A and B are shown apart, each in its own frame.
Chain A
């Protein structure tokens, strides 16, 4: 670069990340006819929603929110989801796995971890087809898991919603190629470059409200595979398992049957940031579904998972 006469401080990392995410959201809003934003009420999608507010301010968010409800979500999170959409006067589309089962779109899988994670895939794809969404924002981050590390910001999906890791479009500078044929769509991950720490710092900085189960609270749990598994109407203690009451918080809030919690006293974002800076386990490590096989996430993503 040429030697500059003008100098300004480099943007602080959160500002840099925010500017990048806003740029991506505006690109999508400008280039796609029917985008939608996947909003689960989880912390990543809460950040994404704030970024969308900022990108189009003072206008409304120019696309609907969509949630694929597994029916196994934490009730606190579902309440929060509805409240937040209401506050923003945003259109919220909910498609449920239960409904998809009833319609025969999917068959429920049996097993100890009767996770409905994989069952979200056909439900999600069905929703995308129904509304003919051609761009779908997801809150996935590259630091979450190895298969995600190679994901593009604009992730091309074929007519069957599939991801082909060997045939991804090269992505250079901040020039995103959103061109697609009818029936195909693009998954867009505007917070790809954020880490778990960045998300917490942003929640703190923006004073974002999040579902209370992210903060330390008392809960009945059992210990399975060295993890604290929360008990609920969907998951009871096995014979011989000791039911413990622990002060815990959740680092992710997926399917109640496959999301473990961690022991914690952190009841504010600041305390969580402190805890996260010394945490030695990644957040997806609390997701039992990712551990099923070494390539579990990659396989789900190929099928159309986000």
Chain B
């Protein structure tokens, strides 16, 4: 027996809680003592059992008579088990709807037959669409109050389908006429609506085909932790986010770029030849490569995007509005990184679907933003992969979860390293002032220190904003708390590498021509990722007339045209 997770969304009086009560009740999921408690709590004890009270859990809600937070319900039929996220539907609770929708395979949108497709129905559909819920069910409720009229239903169905097409919803939509109160077409087929030939709600939920919902094409394995109980056993624990992995598969670890093969798929219940999403396993590799929490194991021939710039849609979930330039944390898969929102591209008005230009995002606002992260993320677009395409935003001061993010299909790459682009004076302006481009000259070879000094002096005399980044300055200052190793194989080494690279980027943003003899690990995929798009010149100091050689190269690359070379 498998499991289906679905969410429900409806307006205050659409009868959503009654519907869930009906599903639980008619599928015999309601136990007698819960029912007894509800009867006790029903305000008007002369009435029949109020099914809604079964789901409105908390005291505060009972006082206000509304559902204010996502509640989870469980029931089973002989065919399937169900987890229901019951989400409140008022305007201010976009947050809750998105929360319930994030884990749902299907969603039920309630429409009151008396009102038809109203603003709120559109809003619920938009959020379901945004969260990429694979299956959409529209339950046209309270058909009993419209005399079970076929024409009423058909006109609502037509309205909804038109609206869905407008939104660009191409996925599976099923529209069912019901009466949650009377029980028509929920679990039992309605006698009063014999004109309706489609499935009842429970029929649909029991049989909807979810085999295509899980992404099994792109293997993505965010590493949660390293299991190393003894010297003979080392495995990377994680839950497969998507795709299939087999013993012997060639893999690559991100961000290091190191490759290996799957030696074994370990579980306590025995080794596996193959595993797929969403199994939790532990992977053992053929080679001893350095992988830690936050890294991702992917196939060599199918990599995710790697970038420290991400374009995404945010659902803002906190009273404190989002500000550009403020530091946040992003938790993406098992990876938590520092981030800034660099730019709000637009806010989507959830009612008119208009794109508005705004300076901030407030509670329940939905907006498209451009985010810069301190370390690159490994991701896929959300519509392709709900696990590697989603993230949450955390306020580092209050630790509150302030937003949910969905990574966009199109990623417009900025021309230069976009992380620190905000501000009036940008790199291009500085480069124009210096009359040369920002670049890194990486010297290696026997007498690299002497060449570096000579080069710096030479360029400085010509008015070039040149700067020699000295290894000692770093190890005695910025990296003084780290073990003095530049090997990428240990944690400190990698951290040193990261800091050095970040410093290089800052220097580049000042428009400098940086000369360095540091072993920054430029061969590593990680450093290359961080310095992607930057001018990086690797030169051997063993060349004859090394300084002139560098000057020639700089000119050839269009970085700096030395006047002495023109003659």
Contacts and interface: CB of A to CB of B under 8 A. Distances in A.
A279 B29 CA distance: 10
Nearest to B59: A295
A207 interface: no
Contacts of A171: 99, 401
B497 to A, nearest CB: 22
A278 to B, nearest CB: 9
Contacts of A168: 69
Interface string A191-225: 01101011000000000000000000000000000
Interface in B269-302: 269, 276, 278-280, 282, 293
A104 B37 CA distance: 36
A193 B280 contact: no
B555 interface: no
Contact of B132 (A1, A15, A193): A1
Contacts of B269: 54
B390 interface: yes
Contact of A11 (B224, B279, B386, B392): B279
Given A4-B217, A57-B268, A175-B391, A285 B31 contact: yes
Given A27-B334, A149-B72, A282 B34 contact: yes
B58 A150 contact: yes
Nearest to A141: B74
A159 interface: no
Interface of A, secondary structure class, is loop
Nearest to A154: B401
Contact of B57 (A7, A19, A150): A150
Contact of B58 (A27, A54, A165, A193): A165
Q: How large is the interface on B (under 10, 10 to 19, 20 to 34, 35 or more residues)?
A: 35 or more
Quick one: which of B70, B72, B276, B404 has the most chain A CB within 10 A? B72
Contacts of A192: 72
A177 B394 contact: yes
A89 interface: no
A303 to B, nearest CB: 13
B49 to A, nearest CB: 15
B280 A170 contact: no
B219 to A, nearest CB: 10
A175 B392 contact: yes
Nearest to A59: B229
A7 B58 contact: no
Nearest to A283: B31
A166 B60 CA distance: 8
A56 B227 contact: yes
A19 B238 CA distance: 10
B31 A280 contact: yes
A8 interface: yes
A146 interface: yes
A139 to B, nearest CB: 16
A294 B57 contact: no
Most interface-central of A12, A23, A298 (chain B CB within 10 A):
A23
Which of A18, A60, A172 has the most chain B CB atoms closer than 10 A to its own CB?
A172
A13 B68 contact: no
Contact of A147 (B58, B134, B387): B58
A16 B278 contact: yes
Interface in A1-44: 1-13, 15-20, 22-23, 26-27, 29-30
A295 B2 CA distance: 34
A112 interface: no
Contacts of A281: 31-33
Interface string B107-143: 0000000000000000000000000101000000000
B23 interface: no
Given A18-B280, A166-B60, A174-B103, 16 more contacts: A6-B217, A6-B243, A7-B212, A8-B276, A30-B293, A55-B237, A55-B280, A56-B229, A149-B57, A165-B69, A166-B69, A172-B99, A174-B239, A193-B74, A285-B31, A294-B62
Interface of A: 1-13, 15-20, 22-23, 26-27, 29-30, 53-60, 142-143, 146-147, 149-150, 165-166, 168-175, 177, 179-181, 192-193, 195, 197-198, 279-282, 284-285, 294-295, 298-299
7 contacts: A6-B216, A19-B279, A53-B268, A170-B317, A170-B404, A177-B399, A192-B72
